[in-house]
Amino acid sequence: MATSNSNLSTESKFLINKKKKPFSNKLSDSIAGWLFISPMFLGFSIFMFGPLVYAFFMSLHEWPLLGEQTFIGLENYQSLGQDGSFLNSLNVTILFSLGLVPLNIILAMFLAGLLKEKFIGVGFFRTAIFVPVVTSLIVWAIVWKNLLATELGFINQLLDLIGIQGPSWLLDQSTALPSVILVSVLKNVGLNMILFLTAMQQVPGELYEAAELDGASAFRRFRSVTLPLITPTIFLTMIITTIGAMKIFGQVYVMTRGGPVDSTKVLVYYIWETAFRHFDMGYASALAFVLFFILLAFTILSWVVRKRWVFHEE
Partner 1 sequence: MRNKKLLVFRYIALSLITVLMVGPLVWMIATSLKEPTRIFTQFFPNPIRWENYTEVLGQMTFLKQYWNSIYIAVLVTIFVLLFSSMAGYAFARIKFPGRNVVFLLLLSVMMIPPEVTIIPLFLFMRDLGWVNTHIPLILLPIFGAPGAFGIFLMRQFFLAIPKELEEAAVVDGCSKFKIYWRIMLPLSVPALSTLTIFTFLTNWDEFLYPLIFINARELMTLPVGLSLFTDEAGTDWHHLMSATTLVTIPLLILFFFAQKKFIEGMTAGSIK
List binders of partner 1 among 242-281 (CB under 8 A): 247, 249-250, 253-254, 268, 271-272, 275-276, 281
77 binds partner 1 (CB under 8 A): no
Nearest CA to 185 among 236, 140, 127?
A: 140
* Interacting residues with partner 1 between 113 and 142 (CB under 8 A): 114-115, 119, 121, 125, 127-140, 142
Q: How far is the CB of 7 from partner 1 (least distance, A)?
A: 31
Closer to partner 1 by Cβ: residue 11 or 160: 160
Closer to partner 1 by Cβ: residue 149 or 177: 149
The count of chain residues that interact with partner 1, using the rule CB under 8 A, is: 84
Interacting residues of 115 by C-beta distance below 8 A, sequence separation 6+: 122, 125, 126, 129, 193, 197
Pairing of strands 61-62, 70-71: antiparallel
106 binds partner 1 (CB under 8 A): no
Select from 9-17, 33-41, 171-179, 201-209 the region that touches partner 1 (CB under 8 A): 33-41
Report in angstroms the alpha-carbon separations of 203 from 2, 193, 199, 209.
Answer: 80, 16, 7, 12
* Interacting residues with partner 1 between 153 and 212 (CB under 8 A): 154, 157, 186, 190-191, 194-195, 198
Beta bridge partners of 71: 61
Dihedral, CA atoms, 189, 147, 96, 93, nearest 10 degrees? Answer: 120
Which residue among 34, 74, 201, 227 contacts partner 1 (CB under 8 A)?
34
Backbone angles phi, psi at 256, to 5 degrees: -135, -15
Nearest CA to 86 among 245, 304, 283?
A: 283
Q: How far is the CB of 87 from partner 1 (least distance, A)?
A: 19
